[in-house]
Structure 1
Amino acid sequence: MIKKDVLTTLAELPNLIKVKKLLRPRPGDTRDCLGARVAANAARIPRRSAFVCEGQALDWQQFNAEANRYAAVFRAQGLKRGDAVSVLMENRIAFMVVVVALNKLGVIASLINTSLTGRPLTHCAEITNASKFLFGEECMDAVSDVRDTLSLADGDYLFVPDAGSRAAPPWALDMAAAAAEADAENPVETADIVIDDTAFYIFTSGTTGLPKAAVLSNRRYLLTASVVQVGGLQLTEDDRLYLCLPLFHGTGLMVGAGAAFLAGASMFVRRKFSASQFLPEVRQYRTTAFVYIGELCRYLLHVPAQADDADSPLRAVVGNGLRPDIWHNFKRRFGIQRVAEFYGSSEGNVGFFNLLNKDCTVGTSALPTALIKYDVDRDEVVRNAAGRCQPVAAGEPGLLLGKITPHTRFEGYTSAEATEKKILRDVLQPGDAWFNTGDLMRTVDVGFALGLPHYQFVDRIGDTFRWKGENVSTNEVGEILNLHPQVALSNVYGVQVPGTDGRAGMASLRLEEGVENLDLDSFSTHVHGELPHFARPLFLRIQREIDTTGTFKLLKGELRKQGYDPALVADTLCVLKPGSSRYEPLDAAFHAQIVQGTAGY
């Protein structure tokens, strides 16, 4: 008798073949883009639902027409193919209208994190050379505060209404009013847009408030979205996607919305995630798929269980960061049939996808990759006497690299210097080049898998850790902490917190000569003023000396092992408790709460 595992895997084969066809390289001058796909939906399924959000609903014909009207206004503003526009808006239908309208003209949408203000916001608007700044009514104060720091004229600001409680300021054009009078026909420019054109700039987290702008082409957007649609969620026009991740991030816009755009599926759009409202809304709006990050799944499991939690139309989910410790419980409780876990990044040239619906894996990849030996304690790549890196054995954790080839390009950032820092050269042979993901992965046994190796995420390596869904640069946090007048040197690293995903920040501090005790009030004010919430270290360790290598590189391995356990650390330990803005001494009682998972993190 054929095992059930074999049968279920063989059932995935037709979609796997379709995905393989999608991965065939297309010439860079192939004419295709998101805007063209939306126009095709409007022609093919005009009356099918496209979006539902906050009481507003649009079908594909209505949505396409609205995007066309906005495109006409953008054209009238002098925007053309290759130009860039800063976009600062929360999740709503108007956000989708804006990015599709820009794409129809070949204009690059530079998508800025809506939590940014002040210097970080100015930085994002400047580094992409955006000629216009489009913002939603909900973000008007943040933009108003930085106008004097930008090199834009009053006519370069574009306003999109939201609740309607505030009118467009005199220094900005009301896009909705202008679009109401504009032409709703498909722009002729869309036919000339090619897959090698840049579609979006998507910013990295920006630990210090100074993010990097990752370049995202039409090619990579469409390829990723199509793989998710066909092989991951297996979406059709009969589906509706529950979408609550920020649309300025790649997971929300490319993985989630992208798959729905290409399938012609409907989208239920929510500004922010709510664990308590999730299941009621899934049932009310009949959503069949959901795009997640692991933290959201954990939050959902924290909601008190009900006997009918699995009774909903939800059948498939796609995302990253669903950890093995909650994987099976999440699937079982909410009746999920398909978990399309993936691995990738907005800027990277490598990706893995769980196309065979195997548990606790990010799946497999058709792209050229390597897992090489990495010394975690010394925080460096291991090379042999010839200077080459060494592949790891099966099942052994290794640093994941993606080979840079004409068909797997690393599109990088707008900064050439930042791009080069992510490339390892002369890895396996002289002259080769590989994108350094900064992540440790390993192969795992998932049973019958058509001979395809499957992988599992292990951890971020030394200079970066992931917390609250954001990647945090330890070096950048350290530079900020070192600016405090009492801190001589800081060593930042990630530590595990039970009941949470990723790693929280911890900083070992060496105080300036003559400083006996850290001024916690002053230091707390400094941290909260200079770092976003996800980058603030939760734990501090005050050391007399900080260990380094012979080349003065900070050592983190032993510090990570000892963590914030008062029983293992003789140095002074401090903690930033949930909801608090001030560091305080960490005692054994609160440490016990952290270990038990009841501290509130």
Structure 2
Amino acid sequence: MTQAAKADLIHISDVAARIPKFLNKVPNLLTGLKQAYLRTPNTPAGLGLAFEKAVKRNPLGDALLFEDQRYSYQELNQWANQIAHYYLSKGVKKGDVIAVIIENRSELVATIVALAKIGVTSALVNTSQTGKVLTHSVNLVKPVALIVGEECRQAVDDIRQDLNIDENHFYWFADQATRENAGTAPQGYHNLAEVILSFPMFNVATTQTVKGKDGLFYIYTSGTTGLPKAVIFTNSRWTLAYGTYGHILGLNEDDVMYVTLPLYHATGMVVCWCGVIAGSSALAIRRKYSTSAFWDDVRKYKASAIGYVGELCRYLMDAPPSESDRAHRVTKMIGNGMRPNIWSKFKERFGIEEVLELYASSEGNVGFSNIFNFDNTVGFSPTPYAIIQFDKEKNEPVHDSKGFCKKVVKGDVGLLIGKITSRSPFDGYTDEKNNTSVIMKDVFKKGDSYFITGDLVRDIGFRHAQFVDRLGDTFRWKGENVSTTEVENICSEYPKIVEAVVYGVEIPNTNGRAGMAAITLQDGAELNDQDLTDMVTSFKKDLPPYAVPVFLRVQKVVETTGTFKYQKNKLKEQAFDPNKTSDRLLVLLPGQSAYCDISPEIFSNIEAYKYRF
């Protein structure tokens, strides 16, 4: 164990020193826990109910800020009610699914509240998706309708003939403030902003009938293999997040949380917004993250809290220091992925007092949150879990003489697994086949069951953990999970490529892992200058930007194990270093439209962090 890792271990004296500040949070936390845990699958619960309570507490206070738009809780609620009444009039009912493809803007938030009120599950489709991946994501959840923003319409039009949705059930929002100007819908779409105008603004009665077991969202994850999987996110699970993360943050009616994270992900949509609704606070959103605009927006909205992922923090740290770095009122932040090497530096530079780092996955049943405000930890977990010894070479847990798993000792790294109980259930994926591969049985005794997170964490004591790495065929880049199988399939469709092996590689001083594909070409084929451009165009057509391989390695033959599995460990170790292989290595440098060869100079510049990937 390194000295840094030893320094992060938590002792009883450390916890005792934090108790006085923690006591201030207890009343709010108890309120939240009461709502989170005194619930059953059959009691009314969820986003719609919590939002209506926030409306009662702070009707005229700001609920949503976007660009120059400002909506009070009452106004946002009335807008959502009109959408809800409209869909009820069309026969849409609890249990139905509607696919929603809108970038971070007011129309998305109003739509989500509306659908939550009538018990409809919103399929939060990644707005970066196109082509076959988008087709798969939409058809997978069998939606009765689709709502798209103009900014994403072209991607939908390109695959519309492949979608299993009635032609009369496509809805559209103009890319503007539609409460002021509904715009003119293109042919084949209903203008949702226009058709709701004659519907009432009072609360729909259905909110009270939505129960914990009912679906709230489908959130897409790459899982471990293949195309995106749709994770069922129930109202009960949302209420758990609301009662824990939401109340721990301790926001109030004077607070504003600034969120630039995509709202099709749980960190933005669930974690950040939970804290806002719990405090009847304001949510300030930006369509897409911008380093140059970040602190200006924070000041514009008078934000007191921010949502983050690790990459965002790194981008802000990379920006030149400024006298205005502390010219704001932000003291709290909530999110995940803050790296230990910048944690304390970030707090010091920007004047942050509290980093509510957390750990959770869209599909998982175990969560951690940094309620005691320690540095370099995903925090404390009240849910039952274990960290077990794991053999990375064999890619399997270590077992004792009786065949049971072995827990790590404090300070060691192991595989995180979450115990499946009635209070911490595994809701699972839409496809039952995907569920069996992530459940481990007979772990410590016969009959027990645990969810396999696929993440390696360090046990640092007192039910606190530290994230270390991700196992399997998924890696994280640009704040997104990338499925290697999905990228392999798309790469292999390029005419000259016979086979592709995709994996994540680390770039110094950069969060996550960049995508790298080891490709094998057709017999006698070579990549020319035109190919280096055409491959980028081809990959971008069917892959979101974060999944396009940053590096390529041209191999003569793909090495496999005796069971025909790719030898990814060796490829990851050699990465894009021209000193470790004679294979041709290519890189897609930031802002470029074609791959180029990795020369010693380019490799040296990458290592020296002269490119901002």
* 1:443 pairs with one of 435, 445, 459: 459
What secondary structure does 1:292 align onto?
A: strand
- After the TM superposition, which residues 348-427 of structure 1 pair with which residues of structure 2 at under 5 Å, given as runs? 348-384=364-400, 386-427=402-443
User: Which blocks of at least 5 consecutive residues in structure 1 are unaligned?
Assistant: 446-451
What secondary structure does 1:155 align onto?
A: coil
- Report the alpha carbon displacement of residue 584 of structure 1 after superposing the two structures with TM: 2.4
User: Which blocks of at least 5 consecutive residues in structure 2 are unaligned?
Assistant: 1-11
For each residue in 1:299-338, what CA deviation from the matched residue of structure 2 results, as whole angstroms up to 9, or x when unmatched?
Answer: 1112211134123110100001110111111111110000
Aligned residues: 593
Compute the TM-score of the two structures, normalised by the length of structure 1: 0.92
Judging changes above 3 Å, is the alpha-carbon distance between structure 1 residues 56 and 499 closer, same or farther for their aligned structure 2 residues? same
For each residue in 1:517-561, what CA deviation from the matched residue of structure 2 results, as whole angstroms up to 9, or x when unmatched?
Answer: 686456545434443222222222334444433322222223322
Distance in 2 of aligned mates of 1:80 and 1:151: 19
Is the 8 Å Cα contact of residues 132 and 542 (structure 2) preserved in structure 1?
Answer: no
Is the 8 Å Cα contact of residues 81 and 202 (structure 2) preserved in structure 1?
Answer: yes
* 1:324 pairs with one of 334, 340, 351: 340
Which residue of structure 1 lines up, in the alignment, with residue 25 of structure 2?
15
Distance in 2 of aligned mates of 1:517 and 1:122: 30
What secondary structure does 1:12 align onto?
A: helix
Judging changes above 3 Å, is the alpha-carbon distance between structure 1 residues 467 and 514 closer, same or farther for their aligned structure 2 residues? same
Which residue of structure 1 lines up, in the alignment, with residue 8 of structure 2?
none
Judging changes above 3 Å, is the alpha-carbon distance between structure 1 residues 485 and 162 closer, same or farther for their aligned structure 2 residues? closer
Which residue of structure 2 lines up, in the alignment, with residue 496 of structure 1?
506
* 2:579 pairs with one of 564, 567, 570: 567
After superposition, the CA RMSD in angstroms is 2.5
The one-letter code of the counterpart of 2:357 is E
Is the 8 Å Cα contact of residues 36 and 190 (structure 1) preserved in structure 2?
Answer: yes
Is the 8 Å Cα contact of residues 225 and 484 (structure 2) preserved in structure 1?
Answer: no
The one-letter code of the counterpart of 1:540 is L
For each residue in 1:563-592, what CA deviation from the matched residue of structure 2 results, as whole angstroms up to 9, or x when unmatched?
Answer: 222222233322222222322221111111
> Structure 1 residues 523-532 or 78-87, which shifts more?
523-532
Is the 8 Å Cα contact of residues 59 and 73 (structure 2) preserved in structure 1?
Answer: yes
Judging changes above 3 Å, is the alpha-carbon distance between structure 1 residues 151 and 540 closer, same or farther for their aligned structure 2 residues? closer
Which residue of structure 1 lines up, in the alignment, with residue 7 of structure 2?
none
* 2:465 pairs with one of 455, 467, 470: 455
Which residue of structure 2 lines up, in the alignment, with residue 449 of structure 1?
none
Which residue of structure 2 lines up, in the alignment, with residue 590 of structure 1?
602
For each residue in 1:190-222, what CA deviation from the matched residue of structure 2 results, as whole angstroms up to 9, or x when unmatched?
Answer: 111111111111112589993211100001112
Judging changes above 3 Å, is the alpha-carbon distance between structure 1 residues 408 and 3 closer, same or farther for their aligned structure 2 residues? closer
* 2:113 pairs with one of 100, 104, 108: 100
- Report the alpha carbon displacement of residue 84 of structure 1 after superposing the two structures with TM: 0.9
Distance in 1 of aligned mates of 2:500 and 2:84: 49
Which residue of structure 1 lines up, in the alignment, with residue 3 of structure 2?
none
Which residue of structure 2 lines up, in the alignment, with residue 34 of structure 1?
47
Compute the TM-score of the two structures, normalised by the length of structure 2: 0.91
Distance in 2 of aligned mates of 1:537 and 1:177: 42
* 1:505 pairs with one of 505, 515, 518: 515
- Report the alpha carbon displacement of residue 472 of structure 1 after superposing the two structures with TM: 1.3
For each residue in 1:225-261, what CA deviation from the matched residue of structure 2 results, as whole angstroms up to 9, or x when unmatched?
Answer: 2312221x22122211112211111111101112211
Distance in 1 of aligned mates of 2:443 and 2:225: 31
Distance in 2 of aligned mates of 1:230 and 1:211: 31
* 1:344 pairs with one of 343, 360, 363: 360
Does 2:233 match 1:216?
yes
Distance in 1 of aligned mates of 2:353 and 2:216: 33
What secondary structure does 1:86 align onto?
A: strand
What secondary structure does 2:99 align onto?
A: strand
For each residue in 1:117-166, what CA deviation from the matched residue of structure 2 results, as whole angstroms up to 9, or x when unmatched?
Answer: 23222222211111111122332333333332223333211222332595
> Structure 1 residues 51-60 or 472-481, which shifts more?
472-481
The one-letter code of the counterpart of 1:52 is L
Which residue of structure 1 lines up, in the alignment, with residue 5 of structure 2?
none
Distance in 2 of aligned mates of 1:471 and 1:400: 18
Is the 8 Å Cα contact of residues 510 and 543 (structure 1) preserved in structure 2?
Answer: yes
Distance in 2 of aligned mates of 1:361 and 1:182: 49
- Report the alpha carbon displacement of residue 503 of structure 1 after superposing the two structures with TM: 0.8
Distance in 2 of aligned mates of 1:22 and 1:32: 9
Which residue of structure 2 lines up, in the alignment, with residue 474 of structure 1?
484
Is the 8 Å Cα contact of residues 389 and 414 (structure 2) preserved in structure 1?
Answer: yes
Is the 8 Å Cα contact of residues 133 and 227 (structure 2) preserved in structure 1?
Answer: yes
Distance in 2 of aligned mates of 1:476 and 1:385: 39
Judging changes above 3 Å, is the alpha-carbon distance between structure 1 residues 521 and 205 closer, same or farther for their aligned structure 2 residues? same
> Structure 1 residues 481-490 or 172-181, which shifts more?
481-490
Judging changes above 3 Å, is the alpha-carbon distance between structure 1 residues 138 and 521 closer, same or farther for their aligned structure 2 residues? closer
Does 2:183 match 1:171?
no
Is the 8 Å Cα contact of residues 144 and 166 (structure 2) preserved in structure 1?
Answer: no
Distance in 1 of aligned mates of 2:196 and 2:605: 55
Distance in 2 of aligned mates of 1:530 and 1:142: 10
* 1:228 pairs with one of 229, 245, 249: 245
* 1:464 pairs with one of 474, 481, 505: 474
Distance in 1 of aligned mates of 2:38 and 2:78: 32
Distance in 2 of aligned mates of 1:399 and 1:481: 31
> Structure 1 residues 428-437 or 406-415, which shifts more?
428-437
Which residue of structure 2 lines up, in the alignment, with residue 55 of structure 1?
68
Which residue of structure 1 lines up, in the alignment, with residue 211 of structure 2?
194
> Structure 1 residues 3-12 or 122-131, which shifts more?
3-12
Which residue of structure 2 lines up, in the alignment, with residue 307 of structure 1?
323
Which residue of structure 1 lines up, in the alignment, with residue 552 of structure 2?
540
Is the 8 Å Cα contact of residues 497 and 522 (structure 2) preserved in structure 1?
Answer: yes
Which residue of structure 2 lines up, in the alignment, with residue 144 of structure 1?
157
The one-letter code of the counterpart of 2:354 is R
Is the 8 Å Cα contact of residues 409 and 459 (structure 2) preserved in structure 1?
Answer: no
What secondary structure does 1:406 align onto?
A: coil
* 1:125 pairs with one of 138, 146, 163: 138
- Determine what percentage of the aligned residue pairs are the same residue: 40
> Structure 1 residues 473-482 or 267-276, which shifts more?
473-482
Which residue of structure 2 lines up, in the alignment, with residue 448 of structure 1?
none
- Report the alpha carbon displacement of residue 383 of structure 1 after superposing the two structures with TM: 3.8
Judging changes above 3 Å, is the alpha-carbon distance between structure 1 residues 144 and 541 closer, same or farther for their aligned structure 2 residues? closer
What secondary structure does 1:370 align onto?
A: strand
Distance in 1 of aligned mates of 2:595 and 2:332: 42
* 2:253 pairs with one of 225, 237, 241: 237
Is the 8 Å Cα contact of residues 462 and 493 (structure 1) preserved in structure 2?
Answer: no
Judging changes above 3 Å, is the alpha-carbon distance between structure 1 residues 385 and 464 closer, same or farther for their aligned structure 2 residues? farther
Distance in 2 of aligned mates of 1:532 and 1:262: 33
The one-letter code of the counterpart of 1:41 is A
The one-letter code of the counterpart of 1:553 is K
Distance in 2 of aligned mates of 1:377 and 1:478: 23
